[in-house]
Amino acid sequence: MTSQTAHRPTAAALNMVGAMCIIGAIDIYVAVIAQTLSLWQFLIMRLLLAAPIVLALSAMGFGTVRPRGVRAVAVRSTLIATGMFCYFGALAFMPIAMALAGLFTSPIFVLLLTAFVLRQRIGPWRIGAVAVGFAGILVVLGPSGGSLGWVIVLPVLGGMLYASGVVATRALCEGESTLCLLLGIFVAQGVLGTAILAIITVAQPEVGAGGMAFLSRGWVWPIEDAWPYLLLQVVGSVLGVGLLNRAYQLGEASHVAIFEYSVMIFGPFFGWWLLGQPVTWVQGLGIALIAGAGIIIAIRSSTP
């Protein structure tokens, strides 16, 4: 990072808050898409719609899509793509507030992987933050978690896999361009989605009701009703991730990461405002605990 970009904390914060506002607004519509498509078709369509945008940005000079290390990018992309499977799948069963709370446990898992896999020392502040974060998980998922059954683990599993992808990014993908890593995620989602959709086509399982249809439904066509939400999701994802990466270019990572937790305000707000998803005060308390834990980890991670 150059000194020119390192001294723009306000611009970095505004870029991150803008990114989280966009992501919080578009992700709520995955629940609407789930009423028509399967998760696997949704991911394939995301690849088909997003790849031309990313390639066009690369042609315009915003970065290369050619990886330096194909295997490293593939491992990182597969981990994050699988984590996003879990997150998107959870959105068909639960309000976005609960799904985000599970996904944003990722800093806690990053810290645990750093300590136990990379063997780096963590201090008492961050150990305490892990405890606070897990308490937040129990608070958010506890009140209504019993009625969801096994689905309750999906967003937390997504957070763990996403954290593994973050660690892989740091350990394996240094020097890779933003567009390369972004396209890698879309490709991994599309490839894995195609494989699972092929299995569903051969096995022809019974399509369940509600959220289970999102996981067990095959290819659906035509999809006129879903097109507006698909386009919104894809364009919003590319724009949101672009602003997110720009934020990290303009400011110190540990400070910028704090503003990433604004999505836990925007997501529940848009879910309540646009789709009528309720957020109880108990869930709000749990979200605050998880966000607080992540902020402590971000601050203390920058402290020698």
Question: What pLDDT, in 10s, does the model give residues 24-77?
Answer: 999 999 988 988 899 999 999 989 998 999 999 899 988 899 998 899 999 999
Task: Choose among 228, 214, 158, 221: nearest CA to 39.
Answer: 214
On whether the CB atoms of residues 33 and 208 are closer than 8 A, the answer is: no
104-154 pLDDT, tens digit each: 887 778 777 777 776 777 778 877 887 887 788 777 766 555 566 677 788
Cis peptide before 124 (omega within 30 of 0): no
138-194 pLDDT, tens digit each: 777 665 555 666 777 888 899 899 888 878 877 788 788 888 988 999 999 999 999
On whether the CB atoms of residues 275 and 28 are closer than 8 A, the answer is: yes
What separation, in Å, do the N-terminal and C-terminal C-alpha atoms of the chain show?
A: 19
DSSP 8-state class, residue 206: P
> For residue 58, what pLDDT is reported?
92
The CA distance from 79 to 13, in Å, is: 27
The CA distance from 98 to 140, in Å, is: 6
Please spell the DSSP secondary structure of 62-89, one letter per residue.
S-----S-HHHHHHHHHHHHHHHHHHHH
φ and ψ at residue 251, rounded to 5 degrees: -140, 170
DSSP 8-state class, residue 205: P
Lookup: tokens for 164: 């593994």
% of the chain residues with pLDDT over 90: 23
**Token match 């402290």: residue?**
303
On whether the CB atoms of residues 41 and 219 are closer than 8 A, the answer is: yes
Average model confidence (pLDDT) for the chain? 83
The one-letter code for the residue type at 14 is L
pLDDT category at 6 given cuts 50, 70, 90 is: very low
> For residue 5, what pLDDT is reported?
42
The CA distance from 104 to 154, in Å, is: 12
Domain count, the chain: 1
- Structural domain boundaries enclosing 32: 3-301
Higher pLDDT among residues 50 and 282, named by residue = 50
Tell me the C-alpha to C-alpha distance, in Å, between residue 57 and each of 25, 80, 231: 23, 22, 17
> For residue 1, what pLDDT is reported?
39
Cis peptide before 222 (omega within 30 of 0): yes
The CA distance from 260 to 267, in Å, is: 12
